Amino acid sequence: MKALIIDDEPLARSIVKEYLQGYPQIELVQECCDGFEGVKAIQQHQPDIIFLDIQMPKINGFEMLELVDNPPATIFTTAFDEYAIKAFESHAVDYLLKPFSKERFDKAVQKCMGQANVMAQRNSMQTMLDAASHSPLQNQRIVVKIAGKIKIIPVEEIHYLEASDDYVKIHTKEGSYLKNKTMNYFEQTLDTALFTRTHRSYVVNVQQITRIEPYEKESYVVILKSGKQVPVSKAGYAKLKSVLGL
Amino acid sequence: MSISPNRKFKYVFAAWWLAWAMMHYSVLLNYGLTPLQAFADSCISNILLAGCCLLIINNMRYYLPRQEKYWYVLAVSFGLASVWLITVRLLLWVIFRNTDVYLSMLSGSSTIRYGIAFLMLGCMATMSLLFFTQKEQKEMDARKMEAEKLAKEAELYKLRQQLQPHFLFNSLNSISALVGARPEQARKMIHQLSDFLRGTLKREEHQLVKLEEELQYLELYLEIEKVRFGHRLSTIIECSDNCKIMKLPSLLLQPIVENAIKFGLYDTTEDITIRITASGKDNYLQVNVENPFDPETSSPKKGTGFGLSSVQRRLYLLFARNDLLETKSENNLFTTIVKIPQPY
């Protein structure tokens, strides 16, 4: 079995390493000190198990997992994070609260190794990530992967979101990025004072709007500062009106 | 089914007046009045008297006399009873002005009518005075308890903030890692952590300390953070001799530096340097705390977010000024500037 440690504190990594020495069948392939290295190392080594810290530079542990296509079995290690603990507790993903004992560590590793149903773990991980994304930090930015690079988009810079098959296209000044999430997900997590779902397939940053014009019968179109036109349905128009206080 | 106290009062009030009016009616019948006369007399007298009682209750509900309460009760009862008697006599005279027997009874019974009305109104006024005073007392007690609860919560919140669970647990985790490989260093870190915690516990919000002391305390904190983050974190402290003796509220700098460390460490992936510079200018002690950040991915333009709001609040409570804490961001450098007025 291959294992990976992702934590920004060297001593926190060394204790996991120390505890792992009791497992000759687990090979520690790499230690990473941030999420960027983590994503790369996961692709490179395809580990069976990762030890992941939550609070890390640039992108946190949850955001890092969002960027990995088939996340391996994950044991979260964290000191104190109310949102994270809430997210764990409601789902069957194991986590270690720092500082943790060897016994507690063994239990987590054994649970992970004995996890017969990998799909089940994967599903609960997905719902957990969704729960974790309601934390105040994470709804300030969106992390995407583009051409092998990781891009962090502060939400204020988003012009609008567009549904695109199984993905959502995030449009900004610099260009557009795809994110493997649903429109409902964004509608629920983004700040409602800033973003409004104007249409089944569109969510608009209201601060980018310059004009709203009628378009055909009972529908409208908003014109953004960038000149881009975004459709507005009848229901979307009502929502937009209440947000803008018209 | 439970009946609300207000509703219950209404029923009792109505029942009482009904019984009283019936008694009034039967007494008048015994005096030899016709049923119509007795009925009209009883109705008019008692409806008006009940109205006067309601007037007193409502008056007390919104205005409770603070001083000379009993004189107030007497005056009100006296005044209202007089007004009531005049009105009743006038109305009954208008109705029965041609019936001499009745009119003579009416003027003969004035004294007793007045006496009854006066007693009735006096009782009502006293009862409502007591009732509303007690109610007010209860409300005041509830408010006082609420205020005490809030104060306690604030105190607990302060303690929680001081103990900084995140920092504490991560430090303990580092110690746990050191115990195996470098026990000497683990012991040293336990001492540093203990000194730091003792420092937070013994200081008080309003206490003023010398900058020198505060910086020593800050060093303790920085040493622990440096063990945690290893080579990624380095710090520079610059302080001229003349400001070492200047005073500032205790524990003011630590949250600012903690904020800068978090911001710097979690916003970039490179090694960072935190620079703390103290200077004295025009009766102010000014401390600047600088940390690097990545302007592309974060937006420090949002004023004093990032955990500085509690520092801002504290400065406001101590000095009643909102302009003592500023932040600015230039290139890749975020600076927090705090000014403390001197001397006190």
Q: Which of A6, A9, A11, A20 to mutate to test the interface with B (most CBs of B within 10 A)?
A: A11
Give bridge partners of residue A196 from the DSSP assignment: A204
Q: Report the residue of chain B nearest A78, measured CA to CA.
A: B170
Tell me which residue in A55, A56, A79 faces B173 most closely, judged by beta carbons.
A79
Q: What is the pLDDT along chain B (344 residues), one digit of tens a residue?
A: 445 667 888 899 999 999 999 999 999 888 888 888 889 889 999 999 999 999 988 888 888 887 788 888 889 899 999 999 999 989 988 888 888 888 888 888 888 889 999 999 999 899 988 988 898 899 889 888 887 777 766 666 665 565 678 888 999 999 999 998 899 999 999 999 999 888 877 776 667 889 999 999 899 999 999 999 988 999 999 998 888 999 988 888 888 998 899 888 888 888 999 999 999 888 899 999 999 988 877 655 444 455 687 788 778 877 888 899 998 888 889 999 999 998 75
The count of other CB atoms within 10 Å of the CB of residue B120 is 20
Query: Nearest CA of chain B to the CA of A214: how many Å?
Result: 35
Query: Nearest CA of chain A to the CA of B313: how many Å?
Result: 21
The structure tokens listed for B219 are: 């060093």
Helix (H) or strand (E) holding B338: strand B333-341
Chain B residues with beta carbon closer than 8 angstroms to that of A12:
170, 173-174, 177
Chain A residues with beta carbon closer than 8 angstroms to that of B175:
99
**In Å, how far from its chain's centre is CA B197?**
31
Instruction: Say what the pLDDT of residue A41 is.
Output: 95
Tell me which residue in B174, B269, B298 faces A11 most closely, judged by beta carbons.
B174
Taking the C-alpha atoms of residue B92 and residue B109, their distance in angstroms, rounded to an integer, is: 13
The structure tokens listed for A20 are: 């792992």
Those residues whose C-beta lies under 8 Å from the C-beta of residue A133, and which sit 6 or more positions away, are A62, A139, A185, A189
Decide if B180 and A156 are in contact by the 8 Å CB cutoff. no
How many angstroms separate the Cα of B286 from the Cα of each of B51, B244, B251, B263, B319? 71, 12, 15, 21, 15
- A83 touching chain B per CB within 8 A: no
- A154 touching chain B per CB within 8 A: yes
pLDDT in tens, A187-213: 888 888 889 999 999 999 999 999 888
- A139 touching chain B per CB within 8 A: no
User: pTM higher than 0.80, yes or no?
Assistant: no
Instruction: Say what the pLDDT of residue A121 is.
Output: 65
